[in-house]
Chains A and B, each alone.
Chain A
Amino acid sequence: MGPHALFREMVKRIGTATAVLSLAVLWVTSTSAQNPAGPEGIELSGNWVSRNFTESISGTQLLKPFDALGYPLSEAGRDAMVSYTDERLSMPERQCDMFSPNYLLLGPPPLKIWNEPELRTGSTVAWIVGGWLDIVPMVIWMDGRPHPSAYAPHSNGGFSTGTWENDVLTVRTTHISGGVRRMPRSDLTTMTTRFSRHADILTVTARIEDPVHLAEPMYVSREFQSSNTPLNPSTVPCVSVDEGVPVGKVPHYLPGENPFVDEITKLYGVPVEAILGGPETMYPEYRKKIRDKYVRPEKCPPTEAERGFCGRPGLYAPVN
C-alpha cells in the first residue's frame, strides 16, 4: 500500500468513525431531547410537614366518635358509620384497618417522599411516600405496570400507580382493604391523589370513590410545608396483638343505639341531620336547610378549651 492509499484509508476510517460517533451522540442527545428538562414532572423528594390548617379536626383528638360532617355518605355508608364503634379496632384482623392511603389525607402525619430510580437510565421506577406512623410506605409505581386483577388480594396500602399531568403527580390507588378510623370503606374504594407542589408548599388532594358507602366522590385536601428536619422513611408498621376482643365478636351499635351521634350537637350546636352526612351537606345551599336549626354556642366549649382544642398562640410549631 502506497502512501496515498494509506492516507485515503486513514481518512476513510476517521470519517467513518466520526460519523458513527456522531450518530451515537445524536441518538443519545435526541433521546434526552424528548425531555430536555431531564426527569419528568417536578421534584417531590424531601420531608414534608403537615400543617393541619385545611383539616384541623379529622386525624386529631378533636375528631368525635361520630362525625360525618361533609361526608357524601350513601344510605349504606350512613348505616355502616352509625353502627361503628372504635372497639372494632381491637379485633385482631381490623387493628391496622385505619392505616390505609386514606390516612394520608385524613390523618395528621408528615410525609417523607423519595424516588427509586432505574440506575442505567435514571428514570423513576416508583415514588415512595413514607414517614407515617404505623404504616408501611406507599409505593407509587411509575413504570407503567398495570393494576392487579380485581380479584387480587387487597392490603392496607393498596396498589398505586402514578403519572405526571402538567407537573402534578397523579396517583391512582386500588385494592385498599382498610379505611380510616370511623369512616366506612368497601373493598371497591379507589383513590385518585394529586401531589401539586408550589415552591415549598405541597398540596395533596384526593378524590375518594366508594360505590358502596359514598353517594358522590369525596374530595379532601391537606397542605404540607417543606422541612429540613429529616424524617424516618418508615417506622414500625402496625402489628396486631390481642386486645381482648374474643374471636368471632364484631363490636357494633345496633340502629338507634350509638350514644355519640349527638355529641357534636351538644358541644357545637350543629343539628344531628348534618352530622349524619350525605352529599347535600357538602354544598353551600345546605346552609339554608340548617340555618334555623343551628345554635351558635356562646363560646368555645370550656372542656375543649382546657385541652387546647379551641386554638391558641403557639399551638402550631414553625417549620424548620
Chain B
Amino acid sequence: MFRAKPLLVGAAGLTSILLTMHGRVYGQGGRGAAVAPPVQQTARAAAPVDPTGYWVSMITNNWRLRMVPPAKGDYIGIPISAAAKKVADAWDMTKDEAGGNECKYYGAASIMYQPTRLHIAWQDDNTLRMDTDAGTQTRIFHFGNAASPPARSWQGYSAAMWESRRAGGRGAASPPRHLKVTTTNMRSAYLRKNGVPYSDSAVLTEYYDLYREPDGTVMMVVTAVVEDPVYLEQRYIVVSHFKRQADASGWDPTPCSARW
C-alpha cells in the first residue's frame, strides 16, 4: 500500500519553509510583521516612553557659558557665520530691553540649553505641552498633521513624532524609541545670552532620549540640532541633561531677562 505520511510531512515542511521565506522577504514591520492595516493610535497611547512630569536641568557642560550671561564677543562653541558675528558684535542689551525683546534669549533654539526646570504634560491625546520656569515659556509639540500657524513666535511651531532609529531595510525596522521634534516658524532670536543670533530661517531638530538608571533616576537627554543658513556656518549641535523630579519642588517661574 502506498504510504503517504512521509510525503505529507515533507510537504508540510516545504510549505513552512516557503511561508517563512515569504515572510522574511516581504515582511513589512520587523518583529511580528503585521499584515493587517495599522490601527490609528493617539500619540499618547503610542508613546514608547513617558516624558511627562517635572524635570530639572543639570549644567555640567559649558557651565560659564550657560549659568551666567557671558561677555559680549564670547562666541566659543558656536559655528557662527561672518553675518552672525557682525550682528553679535553690534548687540546691545539695553535696546532689547527698551524694545520689549527680553524673550529673545528664551527662544526654542536655546531654551533647552539654559538652566531651567521643565514641566511636560499631555494637553490632549496628540499634543504635548512643555513649560519652562526660566522665562516662563511654553512649547507645544504637535503630533500628526496639525496646520502650521501663520504667525512666527519665539517658540515657533513644533511637529513631533515617536521615531525609530532604524527605518527598515531587510524588514528590519525597530519600534519607535524616542521623541523627535522639528521646530520651524521661529522668530529670530539668540543662541546665547550675549546676542549670538539665529535667523527666522532656522530649523531646530531635537531628539529626546530617556534613560532609567539602576538607582531609579530617570534622565532625559536632549540632542538639539540647529540649522540656520544665515547665521551658522554648519549645524550647531548641543546636548542637555534633565533629571526627572518626583514633584514640582524648585519650580520657580521667572520672567524673561536680558541681563540675567
Interface residues of A (CB under 8 A from B): 8, 11-12, 14-19, 21-23, 25-26, 29, 33, 36-38, 42, 51-58, 62, 69-72, 165-168, 170, 192, 194, 196-198, 201, 203, 205, 207, 217-223, 225, 264, 268-270, 274, 281-287, 290-291, 294, 296-301, 305, 309-316, 318-319
Contact = CB atoms under 8 A, between A and B. Distances in A.
A312 B20 contact: no
Given A19-B6, A166-B177, A313-B85, A203 B209 contact: yes
Contact of A287 (B67, B71, B211, B241): B67
A72 B57 CA distance: 14
B85 A55 contact: no
Contacts of A192: 213
A314 B77 CA distance: 12
Contact of A167 (B177, B223, B237): B177
Contacts of B237: 51, 53-54, 201, 223, 225
Contacts of A22: 10, 12-14, 16-17
Interface of B: 2-3, 5-14, 16-17, 20-21, 24, 27, 30-31, 33, 48, 56-65, 67-82, 84-85, 115-117, 133-134, 164-166, 170-174, 177-178, 180, 207, 209, 211, 213, 217, 219, 221, 223, 225, 233-241, 250, 252, 260
Contact of B62 (A57, A197, A284, A316): A57
A208 B174 CA distance: 29
Nearest to A165: B211
A205 B239 contact: yes
A286 B82 CA distance: 35
A4 B113 CA distance: 84
Contacts of B79: 53, 315-316
Given A15-B5, A29-B24, A222-B239, A71 B60 contact: yes
A219 B166 contact: no
Given A217-B217, A285-B252, A287-B67, 19 more contacts: A19-B6, A25-B17, A53-B78, A56-B77, A70-B60, A70-B63, A168-B177, A196-B207, A196-B223, A198-B165, A220-B61, A264-B64, A274-B63, A284-B57, A287-B115, A290-B68, A298-B71, A309-B76, A311-B75
B209 to A, nearest CB: 5
A294 B64 CA distance: 11
A22 B223 CA distance: 48
16 contacts: A18-B11, A22-B10, A22-B17, A26-B16, A29-B21, A42-B174, A51-B237, A69-B67, A201-B237, A205-B239, A221-B221, A287-B68, A299-B72, A300-B71, A310-B76, A312-B75
A37 B166 contact: yes
Contacts of B177: 166-168
Contacts of A318: 233-234
B256 to A, nearest CB: 14
Contacts of A312: 75, 80, 85
Contacts of A36: 24, 27, 30-31, 33, 171-172
Given A8-B3, A22-B14, A268-B71, A203 B207 contact: yes
A59 B252 CA distance: 34
Contacts of B134: 284
A18 B178 CA distance: 45
Contact of B223 (A71, A203, A297): A203
A72 B58 CA distance: 10
A204 to B, nearest CB: 9
Contacts of B65: 56-57
A294 B63 CA distance: 13
Contacts of B85: 312-313
B64 A268 contact: yes
B238 A53 contact: yes
